[in-house]
Amino acid sequence: MSIIVLGLIVNTASFSDVAFAEKPDKEDAKKARDAAKDAREQDRKDAKELREDIQEFNDSSVVTSSSSSSIGKVTICHIPPGNPGNNHTISVGSTAVPAHLAHGDIEESCYLANFEDYQAKKESRLAEGLNQKGLTALERAEKLIEKLEQQVGNLEKRLQNLIEKYESGEYYGNISTADVVTNSYGISFVGTATSIYDETVTTKMSGELFMENQVTKPNTSKFKITSGKIMVGDDTYDVVFGKARASSSGPSGDEGSLVIVLQTIDSEENDNTIKITLGFNSPLEGEFGSPAEEFEILDNSKVSGQWILDGSGKLSLEP
């Protein structure tokens, strides 16, 4: 059957040829896979028979060796001088064995000798591969240790810089116009800590901090954290030193926030940086904290590389 399309005669058989052009290829591929599967199965059978033949030969060779005088023949793998690739198995009288062994023949079948040589080479290659893998693993471990040592070195440098800045006063920034009157404040809070790596992992969190004002300005004030601790689950983070900055926010400055940065030591004597942002409904100005100011812990609060903090609490002026 033919169809006339725009003056052209098109043979409809060509459409079926195109539509099913891939089918023979898929069938051929299936046949090839089946053939490969059959070949692998045959290889396994051949290998099994080979092992059985070798075992049978080993068993019989013991008998041959012990009773050669009665049978009168010994199996030899004859290796022609200068042409070892043409080795072949022969049987000779027991009196001829020493002469054959003297020029390099082997007292067993060439089949078994070649197989043992193959096994020896295979085991040697495997041993080399394992040694190479061991060396590679060792090299990776050494590089990892070197990287960790470098990280520890960088961490120690960072801590040293922090301590130097703290001792010189640079850590707190410019406080040339320090407040004349110093007030003390207490901050307490409770909430939860969520693992940075797995949000399904949470634990209880609480804390208590103490701070003093350093510089008080209309829109931004600076504070020094004098002491405190934070508990996350069973871990306790003791405050070594820290600082805080209060600022007004919102379109009319009717809200306040207090950003706290702490350098702490945990129960395993590891140093940690903790950042906590407290959100208030009113700005922290004048004689704030009496009565106590309530706050929420905002989303960017966390223990470095470990926990995200969430909760609420109160800030109060200490007597």
Where would I find the beta strands (DSSP E) of the chain?
A: 2-5, 8-11, 74-78, 88-92, 184-195, 202-215, 220-232, 235-249, 255-265, 271-280, 293-297, 302-303, 307-317
3-state DSSP assignment of residue 45: helix
The string of DSSP codes covering 129-186 is HHHHHHHHHHHHHHHHHHHHHHHHHHHHHHHHHHHHHHHHTGGG---TT--SS--EEE
- Looking at residue 101, its pLDDT comes to 79
Q: Are 227 and 215 in contact (CB under 8 A)?
A: no
pLDDT, block means (10 residues), the chain with 319 residues: 41 40 53 67 63 53 40 73 72 78 75 58 61 63 72 73 79 81 94 92 95 87 93 93 86 80 87 93 85 93 91 93
Q: Are 190 and 215 in contact (CB under 8 A)?
A: no
Q: What are phi and psi of 137, to 5 degrees?
A: -65, -40
